[in-house]
Structure 1
Amino acid sequence: MPNHHLLRILSPCLSLFLLFFFGSFHGVLSTFSTIYGNVSSSSQCGDIFIKYPFWTVSNAAVHHGYPGLGLSCSFGSNYPTLSLTNHTYFVTKINYINETLTLVDIDAADQRCPRARHNLTIGSLPFNYNSANVNLTFFFNCDAPPSVSSPSLDITCLQSGDKWSYVFTNMSQEEEAAFDEACHCEETVVAVVKRTEVTVGNVTEEFAAAMHAGFMLDWEAPKECNACELSGGRCAFNRNEQVMCFCDDESIHNDGSSCKGRDEICSNICDTTC
């Protein structure tokens, strides 16, 4: 059969193949662009700009950022909120250069006489305590006053009948146990505040202002994201907490590997279409 007859027969098939191939390729890239666009977008909640490695809590299949750094934004709110071990905090500042954020316990916000209701627990989340913080140790509903002078404050606004409450700055565990045994307190809670909001050597009546100002945490990349970020990618994870890596060459990796070239996408397409 002459070659031109063969080409005449193959041309429609070749055209269909090329149409299918490039259509599939465009579909993959469109899907990538849709996913990547969703997970890499930034947003603003009140006064706070939210971007990687933080992300806005939603029903999206993939979240672009670190696990545990999802922020919720209520309509009309000045600040987003962050959940730490089932407790909610306002995020009043994010410093993306120093990688720090400032949090205010939602239970203490705007309260004239704030009552610390729980200890701060970070657990396995990608946070560390900032050196700018100090601890305030609260003793609630104590039977007796301190027997010796100490840099403590009796919180008159939390007095209940003949029960008194006190607060100390940077108390050791041994001191905490001794005070609790001597004064027979019903509850002890340790809150964290920024050092600049506390008078040196004394909490003073400004403990409420200190709690309103909040405390600082440092964040760090989870070890699962190190290879991805070192190669120029951005870490993400899906609903199953599977870590993924989104790369500038529009490739996606979910095996913990670093970014590679665009040829991997082409290879994957050929494997499914050829």
Structure 2
Amino acid sequence: MAHPLRLLVFVFLVVHASPLPLSTYDDSMCSESFRCGDVDIAYPFFLSNATQVSPDYTSNYSCGYTDLKIFCEGEGNAMAPILHLGGDRYTIVNISYDKHTFILGDTDVLRGNNCPRVSHDVSLGQAWLGYTDSLSSLAFFFDCYDAGEVLPPDLKDHQINCTGFSGDGVSFVFVAGYEERNVSQKYDLAGHCNHSFVVPVHEDPLLGSGQQLMLPAEYGGVLKKGFELEWNQGAEQVCNLCEQSDGRCSYSENKQFLGCLCTGGKVGVQDCNGGGATPASAEPSSSKFS
């Protein structure tokens, strides 16, 4: 028979393993919308400082989807909305709330010269986010071939040699796909280059009158156009009910649904119409793109 004290500890851990639902919130914290740079930010996006510790909860609650936290950075004309993906910084260029899509670009690339050097892949592990059908990709191979090594003629058409590009050795860019795989395998670019990255881009800049733009000369312009993501509305049924009642879904930092934020600082258990059971603490369902 289990010791009574051990049983009590077990019950305590089970009860407190999931966050408690909210009972009230500060509605002045969750603004309907705000302007950051040239972009209007509204739910399900929310400002990074629009999170707060509830009296009945031990961690922050959000005013929107956890993955859509915006850091409004800079001053004056330099102000811009920043979104973090996998620890990397991206600038939101435009949001289409009707289509549930937004365009963003690598912040360092957007602020750099016309020959930017990317430094990471894109990490898209968020539950709410996925790529749209506009997706294409560029594959980069940086700092390749030591001095004295002969550069294969097939690679010269892909060599980055524009003014302002920095790096050791030679570097290449391809439209990711069949040709890129064949060339990189043929010449073992992974073995000849110190760094390689594949980054998403919008396919439109790569198409002009049915012809590809001139790469590598125009790769910087393609990167600066950014790429498009979409968010899945109401990843949980309980969030759907909340949004249908004109409420806003609130989540914990680890993506657990806490309640439906309604007008006047009121919190619905699952909607703003007064119905529903205790909010589920399960993580939102995975995106179809992940």
Give the corresponding residue for 1:65. 64
RMSD (Å) for aligned C-alpha atoms: 3.1
TM-score, normalised via structure 2 length: 0.68
Partner SS state of residue 44, structure 2: coil
Contact 2:26 2:265 in 1 (8 A): no
Of 188, 194, 208 in structure 1, the residue corresponding to residue 220 of structure 2 is 208
The residue identity in structure 2 corresponding to 1:115 is R
The residue identity in structure 2 corresponding to 1:60 is Q
Q: CA deviation at 1:139?
A: 0.5
Instruction: Specify which structure has the bigger relative contact order, considering alpha-carbon pairs within 8 angstroms and separated by 6 or more residues.
Output: 2
The residue identity in structure 2 corresponding to 1:141 is D
Distance (Å, rounded) in 2 between the aligned partners of 1:229 and 1:235: 7
Contact 1:74 1:80 in 2 (8 A): yes
Q: CA deviation at 1:159?
A: 6.3
Q: CA deviation at 1:253?
A: 3.6
Structure 1 residues 125 and 223: alpha-carbon distance in aligned structure 2, compared to 1, 3 A threshold: closer
Q: CA deviation at 1:219?
A: 1.1
Moved more, 99-108 or 170-179: 170-179
Q: CA deviation at 1:40?
A: 4.5
Give the corresponding residue for 1:26. none
The residue identity in structure 1 corresponding to 2:174 is F
The residue identity in structure 2 corresponding to 1:218 is E
**CA offsets, 1:58-103, max 9 Å, x none?**
1533322111101011241332100111000111111111111111
The residue identity in structure 1 corresponding to 2:94 is K
Distance (Å, rounded) in 2 between the aligned partners of 1:240 and 1:120: 21
The residue identity in structure 2 corresponding to 1:97 is D
User: Where does 1:32-47 land on structure 2 (aligned, <5 Å)?
Assistant: 32=24, 35-47=26-38
**CA offsets, 1:144-167, max 9 Å, x none?**
534537973433444656x21000
Structure 1 residues 135 and 60: alpha-carbon distance in aligned structure 2, compared to 1, 3 A threshold: same
TM-score, normalised via structure 1 length: 0.71
Distance (Å, rounded) in 2 between the aligned partners of 1:228 and 1:131: 29
Distance (Å, rounded) in 1 between the aligned partners of 2:112 and 2:73: 20
Structure 1 residues 148 and 180: alpha-carbon distance in aligned structure 2, compared to 1, 3 A threshold: closer
Q: CA deviation at 1:169?
A: 0.6
Large movers: runs of 4+ above 6 Å: none
Decide which structure has greater helix share.
1
Give the corresponding residue for 2:250. 236
Contact 2:173 2:216 in 1 (8 A): no
Q: CA deviation at 1:240?
A: 6.4
Percent of matched pairs sharing the same residue: 27
Aligned residues between the structures: 230
Q: CA deviation at 1:35?
A: 2.1
Structure 1 residues 247 and 151: alpha-carbon distance in aligned structure 2, compared to 1, 3 A threshold: farther
Contact 1:152 1:169 in 2 (8 A): no
Structure 1 residues 151 and 86: alpha-carbon distance in aligned structure 2, compared to 1, 3 A threshold: same
